[in-house]
Amino acid sequence: MMHGDHPMRGNLRGRNLRGFTLIELLIALLILGIMSGLGYGTYRAARISAERTEESLARSREIEFGIRVMVMDFAQLTAHPARDPLGQSELPALRGSAGNGTSAGTTTSGGIGSNTSGMQFNSGPGFSSSFSGSGGSGNDSSSIPLADLTRGGWSNTAGQQRSTLQRVSYALVGTVVKRSYQTAVDAAQGGKPVIQDLFTGVKTVQLRYLDDNQAWQNQWPPSTLQLPDSLVTRPVAVEITIEFKDWGRIRRLVEVAG
């Protein structure tokens, strides 16, 4: 009897050569599609989470840097007045408004953008028309002056022939806090300040100033100070409160050196 002709072996060989049926292929494709969908959903969720984390870190760095710059400016406030661009009058070492809100818990004596001390910020260095035209957030081009000051400690790593004093200005333009500075304390007529966006997405900015009698003032110099004291007198400390649309309220108390 020849083994090659065994009928049972021929049936087994036929079964081994049998392929997948259409139903089996469809089931396999369905399982593959489900697994791919689950995998893509997990990848997409991880990608979105990573992007949000990066945005949050970038926002945190922006706010941290801006706060640090403001603290350094006010901490190094010097008793050095400045002259206006026409050189006709002296400007106080610090001209500070209350801001545009009551974030610090103290009601300002004026409304938004009001100037209760009669100080004309737009006549001084850094508060020219270029500030309000530098662009804010959205269509709001209004400019609310915050502070205009002379600070010391301006690093001179390049060894240039210049003073270490710097005239710095702050304003809230729309929802953006902008900082400008002049390369000289006494700005020349027609000189353009260097302007940078310090914060975005700002709702309110509140500034308060602690005088020698340990009383908080909503403007500086106080109306009780007369010339020439109002030009050189500095507050003991400055309270900065900024309310952001996404991060809430941040408060810093800055002790003025000297």
Pairing of strands 166-173, 176-182: antiparallel
pLDDT at 160 over 70: no
- Which string of b and e fits 184-211 if b means at least 16 CB within 10 Å? ebbbeeeeebebebbbbebbbbbbbbbb
Q: Which burial class, exposed, middle or buried, applies to 172 when counting CB atoms under 10 A from its CB (0-12, 13-18, 19+)?
A: buried
| Distance (Å, whole) CA 67 – CA 142 | 22
* pLDDT at residue 221, as a whole number: 95
Each residue of 189-235: pLDDT tens digit? 556 888 999 999 999 999 999 999 999 999 999 999 998 999 999 99
pLDDT at 8 over 60: no
Higher pLDDT, residue 127 or 237: 237
Each residue of 49-71: pLDDT tens digit? 888 889 999 999 999 999 999 99
Give yes or no for a contact between 225 and 118, defined as CB atoms under 8 angstroms apart: no
Mean pLDDT of 7-25: 63
Model's pTM, two decimal places?
0.71
| Distance (Å, whole) CA 219 – CA 230 | 12
Q: Which burial class, exposed, middle or buried, applies to 36 when counting CB atoms under 10 A from its CB (0-12, 13-18, 19+)?
A: exposed
* pLDDT at residue 237, as a whole number: 97
| Distance (Å, whole) CA 205 – CA 238 | 13
Higher pLDDT, residue 43 or 179: 179
Q: What integer best gives the mean pLDDT of the chain? A: 78
Q: Which burial class, exposed, middle or buried, applies to 62 when counting CB atoms under 10 A from its CB (0-12, 13-18, 19+)?
A: middle
* pLDDT at residue 253, as a whole number: 97
For the chain, percent of residues with pLDDT exceeding 90: 43
Residue 79 main-chain phi, psi, to 5 deg? -85, 60
Residues written for the chain? 258
CB pairs under 8 A, 24+ apart, for 113-117? 113/142, 113/144, 115/145, 116/218, 116/219, 117/219, 117/221, 117/223
Each residue of 111-143: pLDDT tens digit? 333 333 333 344 344 444 445 444 444 344 578
Higher pLDDT, residue 105 or 17: 17
pLDDT at 21 over 70: yes
Give yes or no for a contact between 199 and 252, defined as CB atoms under 8 angstroms apart: no
